Amino acid sequence: MKAAELLVKCLEHEGVEYIFGVPGEENIDVMDALRDSKIEFIVTRHETSAAFMAGTYGKLTRKPGVCLATLGPGATNLLTGVANANMDLCPIVAITGQAGLERQHKVSHQYYDMEDVYREVTKWNAQIKSPDVVPEVVRKAFKVATEEKTGATHIELPEDVASKEASGAPLSLAEHKLSEADEPIIQEAAKLIDQAKRPIILAGNGVTRGKATNELRELVVKTNLPVVHTFMGKGAIPWTDKHSLLTAGIGGNDYITCGFTESDLIIAIGFDMAEYSPKDWNPDGQVPILHIDTKESEVDACYPVKLNVVGNLKENIRNLTGALSQRERDLDWVDEVRKKALAELDSFKEDSGYPVKPQKIISDLRSVLNEDSIVISDVGAHKMWMARMYHCYEPNTCLISNGLASMGFAVPSAIAAKMVYPDKQVVAVCGDGAFQMTSMELETAKRLNLPIVILLWRDEGYGLIEWHQMKAFNRSSHIKFGNPDFKLLAKSYGFEALKVEKAEELKSVLDQAISMNKPVLIDCPVDYKENMKLTEKLGNLIC
């Protein structure tokens, strides 16, 4: 068999269901081998979208998503989505074609050294230089991608190697289990918590990744510790829980971050630096950190670690809970913070302003969706509102790219989420800037008959950049653009299309879109004058 055929057999052995990508001339042997495979190849309209889809698939299934592109521009297009997945710690294996070995020593058509290019955005990557090493390369790519912390790997297959005869078979799979922290470490961590007068938990992305949600909730019930969520840690405990201090991460003062200033111990669980810079919540580095994660902490002056509890997050939290005594704590201050934060959202439920205010959009969206519905936020001004105010009952029900924070993330990710969970409501929340970066994937969603809903916040410009410009200079520069008729655009792709004409009808439009059980786009004009009002409000907030 050819090396390309052996590659596909190895992918099947790894349990790959889908490959997202765009075929090319230099990977025709792989594409031909896939014709006879049980793996379904999902043709996307852009390589970046393919990597976004693979990353979201990996995040939701905890199995590496696989994406594929050809050499040169195909590989460089794929790069952004791979980098995004790697920084968000989503397991993903990227496969790219390449020029034949015989022309890689010189300037050649569409040739760049992609092994070198991908090195900085992956955990590991390799070129297959011999057909017989295919099983080893594939096994290592999947092994490294799924090791904590999970992330991206990359395989490059030159076209001449792909067509050569290969011998060998897929290698056996092996589970990797993280060790638990030693008992003295657990006891020391318990002592730190018991001695603290006002400890607070910061729950990050790793809680979900480590399947430690139930363990964290049991810890909270026993100890009465309040929990702040990062953007990517949403749902670690339900937002309705009295211990939930909701979500922090917008930077500067906020109702939630004021809790950090009152704390004498921050228990960071499954937290990664890319989620929420410590300088925004521990600027003087005065509050000590108890770091509980799969790896030791990054060095940061604002993240003064008192103790690292490293290893299997699920087991370490369970052991820590067992080592701690039942505690009653004063949660009046938590209740006050919750009341202020939730009142800010509730006060806009009946707002009739048009264009629609961000708070009203989020309030209506939360009210119509189920507890397990999946919302994916793209990157832009809307992301800051969604991250701060869209509250979750369960983990992985609000997906936000907050490492690389790539625009265009939401629509491809909604497609992947609906493939993984066909019975759940899936909504992509996009700004008109981000939407236009991957709007061609509406065709992919329609072709796959995936009933996703796209809620488009339209303001005719790059709202988040304008927000920063206004804060810095009190004037904006070069952020406005034109838009197509989004209803016509959506219909041309076979989507149903609805437009919000007044604030009072938003909720009914959302209900209608969800009940259609078809791909639907909702065009909703948004009033981003609220951005600077929020900046002023938070600037005047005194902790």
Task: Output the domain CATH number for residue 207.
Answer: 3.40.50.1220
> Mean pLDDT across the stretch 298-327?
95
Range of the domain at 416: 347-539
Q: Would you say 69 and 78 are in contact if contact means Cβ atoms under 8 Å apart? A: yes
414 and 442 inside one domain: yes
When pLDDT is cut at 50, 70 and 90, the band that residue 330 belongs to is: confident
> Residue 230's closest CA among 255, 209, 201?
201
Answer whether residue 36 shows pLDDT above 60.
yes
Q: Is residue 227 included in any domain, yes or no? A: yes
15 and 128 inside one domain: yes
Q: Tell me the torsion sign for CA atoms 43, 45, 47, 51.
A: negative
Q: Is residue 168 included in any domain, yes or no? A: no
Predicted model pTM = 0.95
Q: Is residue 60 included in any domain, yes or no? A: yes
When pLDDT is cut at 50, 70 and 90, the band that residue 174 belongs to is: confident
Answer whether residue 542 shows pLDDT above 70.
no
244 and 327 inside one domain: yes
Determine the pLDDT at residue 540. Answer: 61
Q: Is residue 169 included in any domain, yes or no? A: no
Among 64-68, 306-310, 330-334, the range scoring the smallest mean pLDDT is 330-334
> Mean pLDDT across the stretch 226-245?
94
Determine the pLDDT at residue 536. Answer: 81
List strand residue ranges (DSSP E) for 340-410, in order: 374-377, 398-400
Q: Is residue 175 included in any domain, yes or no? A: no
> Mean pLDDT across the stretch 255-276?
87
Determine the pLDDT at residue 252. Answer: 62
Q: Is residue 432 included in any domain, yes or no? A: yes
> Mean pLDDT across the stretch 435-439?
97
Answer whether residue 263 shows pLDDT above 60.
yes
When pLDDT is cut at 50, 70 and 90, the band that residue 251 belongs to is: low
123 and 22 inside one domain: yes
Q: Is residue 403 included in any domain, yes or no? A: yes
399 and 276 inside one domain: no
Sheet holding 227-229, edge to edge: 244-247, 227-229, 199-203, 265-269, 289-293, 305-310
Q: Would you say 96 and 72 are in contact if contact means Cβ atoms under 8 Å apart? A: no
Q: Is residue 176 included in any domain, yes or no? A: no
443 and 528 inside one domain: yes
Over pLDDT 90: what percentage of the chain? 80
List strand residue ranges (DSSP E) for 99-204, in order: 124-127, 152-158, 199-203
More confident residue, 539 or 173: 173
Answer whether residue 429 shows pLDDT above 90.
yes
Residue found under tokens 């879109």: 513
When pLDDT is cut at 50, 70 and 90, the band that residue 403 belongs to is: confident
Mean confidence (pLDDT) of the chain: 93
Cα separation, 2 vs 167, in Å, equals 8
436 and 468 inside one domain: yes
CATH number of domain containing 465: 3.40.50.970
Answer whether residue 280 shows pLDDT above 90.
no
- Burial class from Cβ neighbours inside 10 Å (0-12, 13-18, 19+) for residue 463 reads buried
Domain count, the chain: 3
117 and 48 inside one domain: yes
Q: At what angle do helices 410-420 and 47-61 cross, to 10 degrees?
A: 40
Answer whether residue 492 shows pLDDT above 90.
yes
Determine the pLDDT at residue 215. Answer: 98
Determine the pLDDT at residue 381. Answer: 93
Dump pLDDT digits (tens) for 121-173: 999 999 999 999 999 999 999 999 999 999 999 999 999 999 999 988 999 99
128 and 259 inside one domain: no
Which structure tokens are listed for 116?
């070198």
Answer whether residue 378 shows pLDDT above 80.
yes
Answer whether residue 404 shows pLDDT above 70.
yes
Answer whether residue 109 shows pLDDT above 80.
no
Q: Which of 131, 162, 193 is the last residue of a domain?
A: 162
391 and 468 inside one domain: yes
Cα separation, 507 vs 366, in Å, equals 10
Question: Which helix (H) or strand (E) covers residue 539, if one does?
Answer: helix 529-539
314 and 422 inside one domain: no
